[in-house]
Structure 1
Amino acid sequence: MPLTKTRLRSLASWALIIALGLNLRPILSSISPLLMQIRGDTGMSFQSSAWLTSLPVICMGLVALLGVRIEARLGERRGVALGLLMILGACLWRLLGHQAEVLLITALLGGAGVALIQALVPALIKRQFQGQVALALGVYSASLMGGGGLAALLSPVVAGHFSQWQAGLGVWLLPALAALLMWWLLPFAGLTARTHGASAQPWRNRRAWLLALYFGLVNCGYMSMVAWLPAYYLQMDWSATQSGSLLAFMTVFQVLAALVMPALAQRSRDRRPFLALSLAAQAFGFFGLVMWPLESPHIWVALIGFGLGACFALSLILTLDHCREPRAAGQLAAFVQGVGFLINAVSPWLTGWLRELTGSFVSAWWVLIVGVVAMLLLTRIFSPASYRESFAEPHGSPALSTHP
């Protein structure tokens, strides 16, 4: 009997990780395949509609930076529940509204909900899946990206069925409701309530800032792809369903990479070879998107998806590698995601601005190529031997524990 209870608890933990991840990207990726319809009804320009992707990401960054205070005030159980309620509320409001202002407000509301969950999940995984942290982060990342792909694929289908784009955006309240019920009825073992005690101070550490910059730039391409990949092909006379399915196709390779690369990386403490391979895949994919967009679009999108999926999971794993104690690791991850997502938020806005300025998305893809190559060169400094040196506390503070 005890063994059965242990297995059920383990299965519930994995199911909850997947359910949470599935709800963290539809608020972003459901917009892009319906963008032309939304712009036609609301009169939004390319640059202003970019805020529908940028605003949630800005919220993700700002709320993640407050992760320590949120954890102390709410605890994991109530914090995650509140995040799911905010996502549910944003989707419901989108279902009922049709003005540009509603879309912008719900982008903020939904983004804040996503940020709450993202700020709390890494520490939860670090504690709950001891010995399987890389694999659990891979499953979490894969479900997160899978949710984004499903939204890109199904939102135009739902919108077409009901003959209104609001339905394509609002339907994602259903998985949010399901995850909320699961979270409340099947809580993780060992969930923390409010926490107290010494806090890490990553904003005073150079390596923490470098990890944040790295996380932001290696993942920038995802936000631009979610916001503009369908629009790029809509301008080449693809339909909304075709362009949305291309984004979903990219997600298939994101999910595969998020599962396979962390599993491989778990066999070694050195993440650099896997990160280098992932960044190279991104660079080749974006180059193909510039040079031969119609010849082999699925190949370029597959490479981009593989690189992005692996980079998200591996950069989070790299961050958690620097801290042994779960709470310190969670605080560092919240800081890295906070700054990183604020960097990410610039990407779709910059892409939209370059599109308005040049009349083409090609210049934005070149900017992403330059950023990816720069991060490929930076990857070499993240050797396992540097973890202890980077987070050595000069005054003997135990705030950030390192690997032995």
Structure 2
Amino acid sequence: MIGLMAREEHRTATSTRIRTAQTRTTEAPTPTRPATRAWTTRLVVLGIVLTALNLRPAITSLGALLEEVRDGLGMSGSVAGLLTSVPPLCFALFGVMAPRLARRFGPGAVVCAGMAAITAGLFLRPYLGSTAGFLAASALALMGIALSNVLMPVIVKRWFPDRVGSMTGLYSMALALGTASAAAVTVPMTEALGGSWQTGLAVWAGLAALAVLPWIPFVRNRDADRERGRDGEHRPDGGAAPAASAQEKHARVEAPTLRITRSRTAWALAVYFGLQATGAYITMGWMAQIFRDAGVHAGTAGLLLAVTMVMGVPLAFVIPRLATRLPHQGPIVLALGVCGLVGYAGLYLAPVAGSWAWALLLGVSNCSFPLALTMVGMRARTSAGVAQLSGFAQSTGYLISIPGPLLVGVLYQHSGGWGLPIALMAGLMIPQMAVGVLAGRDRTVEDEAAR
């Protein structure tokens, strides 16, 4: 009897354990977690798009109204050239801080703070009433842009490691759309709002405020965001990449920081980034003025600048996808460079007669920016390597680009025309093409730094 009861108790306990295990399996939150991860992934995509839309309006909206701002604040041509040099200066100074801040707070939290800084800077700068105040508020907005510039490739590599080309294309396309929209809409919107350049510039703060919202959950969950970067890449199918073994994690933590300055590819990419940024910021800051001085109406000049920027919308999606399928990105570099040379030659010889053609060609040439971002993602193996390469290439590159817009302003003021500035822009395309071919070689900075 006792043995029978013991056997019955054993069967009961065993069945209870089986039912409990089945209940745990059935009630495990597997449906909830993928749904949560999928929702989070969609939020990241939305955040990437809205962030990219806000990375250039601070610059191109100013380019469209530069003459009005100069008159309103009493700027000379040299000071206006300094103003157009502020973006690369801020990108160089603040971009280098981005990887360290991302390690401490998480990249999502840093981008959220960057969008808030853009909002505050764009809203304040038109109303501070002095050149110094305008520059200070612009620097605040540009600080937010610099942090987000560096961290966008990191976020793409981390969340979409198997779709770097397509996601970089989406990000670059949204960036080009925001750039072109600000160039095209700022002048007519200013006129519709009463003709005040202050209102025409401040209205872009609203778009930046909207971009803060998708990143707020990542501020609250920044610890998990940091852990994702340490333990593995996020997979867009809702799962996480396989966790590394304890030995691999220890090795990863104890490994010394990548000596990025030992990599020739990193230096080539930094110089390429700097030279394409020089051309881009000269274009954004001065091209509308070049057309206006040639006799083009202010609204049409803004539209021409918008055409240059809007060319990046389709091409910024196509070029990164094409680049990831090629072992060497040199042919794309050369094709974009030739378009730039022809565009500058036309801008010098027939700025009015062929204005739309030159705007199109220079727009194609400016797609060196999404190509450079794609190469940043391709020239490093891990998100940590991409973060370090992105910070180095962008900070060094923007440092290289600082003198360009300022020099254009000085040459314009002292020569009384656009011949010398355009010759400078065309001349810079030659070294840009040379270092771009070197940066496009199929190798990684980890291998070069290890040697």
* Residue 13 of structure 2: aligned partner: none
| Amino acid corresponding to residue 129 of structure 2 in structure 1 | H
Change (3 A) 1:389 1:58: closer
C-alpha distance in 1 between matches for 2:284 and 2:227: 35
Asked if the contact 1:64/1:118 (under 8 Å) is kept, the reply is yes
Q: Which of these residues, 419, 423, 431, is aligned with residue 374 of structure 1?
A: 431
Could you list the per-position Cα deviations for residues 125-152 of structure 1 after superposition, in whole angstroms to 9, with x for gaps in the alignment?
1111121101211221221222121111
Asked if the contact 2:73/2:129 (under 8 Å) is kept, the reply is yes
Which is worse superposed, 6-15 or 162-171?
6-15
Superposed displacement of residue 364, structure 1: 1.4
C-alpha distance in 1 between matches for 2:178 and 2:305: 12
* Residue 344 of structure 1: aligned partner: 401
* Aligned pairs for 1:230-241 within 5 A: 230-241=288-299
Superposed displacement of residue 217, structure 1: 0.8
Superposed displacement of residue 207, structure 1: 3.0
2:308 is the alignment partner of 1:274: no
| Amino acid corresponding to residue 225 of structure 2 in structure 1 | L
* Residue 246 of structure 2: aligned partner: none
Q: Structure 2 unaligned runs (5+)? A: 1-30, 231-252
* Residue 383 of structure 2: aligned partner: 326
C-alpha distance in 1 between matches for 2:122 and 2:112: 16
Larger Rg: 2
Change (3 A) 1:64 1:389: closer
Q: Which of these residues, 362, 376, 399, is aligned with residue 419 of structure 2?
A: 362
Asked if the contact 1:257/1:307 (under 8 Å) is kept, the reply is no
C-alpha distance in 1 between matches for 2:82 and 2:116: 22
Q: Which of these residues, 153, 159, 166, is aligned with residue 184 of structure 2?
A: 153
2:129 is the alignment partner of 1:71: no
* Aligned pairs for 1:45-194 within 5 A: 45-160=76-191, 161-185=193-217, 191-192=225-226
Structure 1 counterpart SS, 2:162: coil
Which is worse superposed, 379-388 or 230-239?
379-388
Change (3 A) 1:34 1:6: same
Asked if the contact 2:106/2:226 (under 8 Å) is kept, the reply is yes
* Residue 42 of structure 2: aligned partner: 11
Could you list the per-position Cα deviations for residues 254-277 of structure 1 after superposition, in whole angstroms to 9, with x for gaps in the alignment?
222211111222222321111211
Asked if the contact 2:183/2:306 (under 8 Å) is kept, the reply is yes
C-alpha distance in 1 between matches for 2:126 and 2:415: 34
C-alpha distance in 2 between matches for 1:28 and 1:53: 8
Q: Which of these residues, 382, 391, 402, is aligned with residue 448 of structure 2?
A: 391
Change (3 A) 1:385 1:226: closer
Which is worse superposed, 40-49 or 150-159?
150-159
C-alpha distance in 1 between matches for 2:430 and 2:137: 35
Q: Structure 1 unaligned runs (5+)? A: 395-404
* Residue 261 of structure 2: aligned partner: 203
Could you list the per-position Cα deviations for residues 324-354 of structure 1 after superposition, in whole angstroms to 9, with x for gaps in the alignment?
1111111111110001112222221111111
Asked if the contact 2:294/2:351 (under 8 Å) is kept, the reply is no
Could you list the per-position Cα deviations for residues 281-330 of structure 1 after superposition, in whole angstroms to 9, with x for gaps in the alignment?
11111111111111111111111111112x11111222222211111111
Counting matched residue pairs gives 393
CA RMSD of aligned residues (A): 2.4
* Residue 308 of structure 1: aligned partner: 366
Superposed displacement of residue 390, structure 1: 6.0
Change (3 A) 1:100 1:70: same
C-alpha distance in 2 between matches for 1:294 and 1:243: 10
C-alpha distance in 2 between matches for 1:193 and 1:178: 27
C-alpha distance in 2 between matches for 1:7 and 1:74: 23
| Amino acid corresponding to residue 324 of structure 1 in structure 2 | R
Change (3 A) 1:392 1:342: closer
C-alpha distance in 1 between matches for 2:370 and 2:158: 17
* Residue 8 of structure 2: aligned partner: none
Asked if the contact 1:124/1:191 (under 8 Å) is kept, the reply is no
C-alpha distance in 2 between matches for 1:125 and 1:380: 24
2:255 is the alignment partner of 1:255: no
Change (3 A) 1:343 1:194: farther
Could you list the per-position Cα deviations for residues 346-373 of structure 1 after superposition, in whole angstroms to 9, with x for gaps in the alignment?
2211111110121112211211211112
Asked if the contact 2:274/2:399 (under 8 Å) is kept, the reply is yes
C-alpha distance in 2 between matches for 1:152 and 1:93: 20
Asked if the contact 1:221/1:368 (under 8 Å) is kept, the reply is yes
2:257 is the alignment partner of 1:226: no
Superposed displacement of residue 169, structure 1: 0.9
| Amino acid corresponding to residue 265 of structure 1 in structure 2 | A
* Identical pairs, percent: 27
Could you list the per-position Cα deviations for residues 180-230 of structure 1 after superposition, in whole angstroms to 9, with x for gaps in the alignment?
012215889973379784432323434322221111113321100111011
Q: Which of these residues, 335, 340, 343, is aligned with residue 392 of structure 2?
A: 335
| Amino acid corresponding to residue 64 of structure 2 in structure 1 | P
Change (3 A) 1:75 1:113: same
